[in-house]
Amino acid sequence: MTTSDVQVAIIGAGFSGLGAAIKLKQEGISDFVLIDRGADFGGTWRDNTYPGAACDVPSHLYSYSFALNPTWSRSYSHQPEIHRYINGVADTYGVRDKARFHTEVTNAAWDEDTAQWVIDTESNGVKDQIRAAILVGAVGPLCEPNLPDIKGFNDFEGKIVHSARWDNDYDYTGKRIAVIGTGASAIQIVPQLGKVAAQLDVYQRTAPWIVPRNERAYLSVENWAFKNIPGYQAAARGTIYTASEFVAFGMTYAPGALKPVQALAKANIARGIKDPALREQATPKFAVGCKRILKSNDWYPTLARDNVELVTDPIAAITPTGIRTADGTLRDVDVIVVATGFHVTDSPVFERIVGAAGRSLAAVWDEAGMQGYKGSFVNGFPNMMLMVGPSTGLGHTSMVYMIESQLNYLVSYLKAVRAGSITRVDVKADNQRAYNEGIQHKLRRSVWTNGGCASWYKDSHGNITTLWPGFTFDFRRITRTFDLDAYDVVRGTPRPS
Ligand code: N01
């Protein structure tokens, strides 16, 4: 095993990890490493290769402001194009040589003596250790697939595939397929499988709200304008951004303002499904916005297909040949697709990050709930900045906007560390507590709390600790400058490792 020292170690090479690498380079910091278990940049956009995978945030908003892409081919981009974009940005900004791909972080522990993070990695069976003054955790909340806890799950003798670990070599044509889940992933997969499956059973526990998806290919004249007319693309971004902030207003401050969205979604159901019984089954029973509002034109027409059955009776068990529902019906299938989401508030990654008191992030959050300060720092975990940490998620607009706000905070933090010869930074417990109380206070009147749904937005304590409540420009404002006063700080020269 070899050990190397770096100033900064970034874990995760998705949108946020890549953004962090670019900002470090621009700040003149070259002594850093970026670690990722995958084969290249892209994070969730590298891992989710299921048929129909696409973004539901408009293309021109779903990109870095410092790396605009005038050549998006569609109003909503599909996974291969976003994956290419991210890798293109990595090359343009020359950070690929900083990446260690196919490398898993098995443990990261704070060493008080040297004021460093000690990061154990494994790559193809080879163990290594990296010691870093600063750790940037950029793994993202949607990286660890959640397999459903259903009786008999391991007994199934056919093929089981999770949406985020798609098998593109398998031929799904003519197969009897079951899809468990009706979230953002499932509503993209099901219409594609519906076209090729002999029989497709869609197991729905909670019907989602789905509005039409206004997707189209850009005309060449539009791409010409995005490329050649100064400010045209920025104006497009600004328009999309402003419109989506109105939705944020409805979710946090005035849920009644979401009524037009509900009307749009109901019209979408009526347009896609003629059978009143099926229409009733597909109609959500909770307030619009409580769970992510989805976008699709082909979900409801697919449910109405002859080879598709919407199953709403609860799943009782998985058998060697299929799925048995509570009413005793067994539907035999060749393939089970589990589109059952991710370990967001209970990610196994949290168990591998060990702070100053020798306790893991998982243990700390299990006890206190998932919380941090400005989505970036966690008391007891010095010199560690999380990207897309607690209370930064969004249900309505581009996460890249939030990521760029955090990148501002990261740069400001690094400047403060450098200017003040700071070796240890830990957010004060009182500041973290007050910050989270403010967030929870705002959330009390939100649709996520009062909308009558269960969702992955909530942690094991039942608190919504994944979402940013309110306008994203407020988050941009509070992350503009690193507020050193909120932190306990140690200055001086670190002891050598
Ligand atoms: O996962 P989900 P996802 N038995 O957790 C059901 C982003 N994303 O992968 O609603 C039966 O939303 C569960 O049922 P219920 C986006 O942020 C974005 O779809 O809990 N069913 C639900 O229907 C999104 O929010 C894009 O009752 C079970 C589904 O599985 C996030 O990723 C595309 C079950 C899980 O839905 C996650 O989306 C894709 C069980 N035991 C993803 N367990 C775009 O940009 C779970 N379910 C378009």
Q: In this structure, are 185 and 245 located in the same domain?
A: yes
- 56 lies in some domain: no
- Six-digit token string for 38: 């995958």
Q: Whose CA is nearest to atom 44 of ligand 1?
A: 55
**pLDDT number for residue 127:** 97
Within a 10 A sphere around the Cβ of 465, how many other Cβ atoms?
25
Q: How far apart are CA 121 and CA 189, in angstroms?
A: 34
Q: What is the CATH number of the domain that holds 30?
A: 3.50.50.60
Q: In this structure, are 171 and 314 located in the same domain?
A: yes
Within a 10 A sphere around the Cβ of 1, how many other Cβ atoms?
9
- 26 lies in some domain: yes
Q: Which of residues 319, 340, 361 is at a domain's end?
A: 340
Q: Whose CA is nearest to atom 24 of ligand 1?
A: 184
Q: In this structure, are 231 and 333 located in the same domain?
A: yes
Q: How far apart are CA 232 and CA 362, in angstroms?
A: 45
Q: In this structure, are 321 and 420 located in the same domain?
A: no
- Which of 166, 34, 155, 43 lies closest to 105 in space, CA to CA? 34
Per the structure, the count of domains in the chain is 2
- 71 lies in some domain: no
- 70 lies in some domain: no
Which residues, in sequence order, are bridge partners of residue 54?
Answer: 78
**pLDDT number for residue 467:** 96
- 413 lies in some domain: yes
Compute the Cα dihedral for 419, 423, 428, 432 and give only its sign: positive
Q: In this structure, are 234 and 371 located in the same domain?
A: no
**pLDDT number for residue 495:** 66
ipTM of the assembly? 0.98
Range of the domain at 10: 3-41+95-144+343-491
Ligand 1 center to 115 CA (angstroms): 40
Q: In this structure, are 117 and 192 located in the same domain?
A: no
Q: Which of residues 340, 364, 396 is at a domain's end?
A: 340
Q: Whose CA is nearest to atom 26 of ligand 1?
A: 184
Ligand 1 center to 455 CA (angstroms): 9
Compute the Cα dihedral for 129, 134, 137, 138 and give only its sign: negative
**pLDDT number for residue 244:** 85
Segments of the chain scoring below 50 in pLDDT: none
Q: In this structure, are 283 and 299 located in the same domain?
A: yes
Which of 160, 185, 403 to mutate to test ligand 1, by most ligand atoms within 8 A of the CB atom? 185
Q: In this structure, are 290 and 435 located in the same domain?
A: no
**pLDDT number for residue 494:** 66
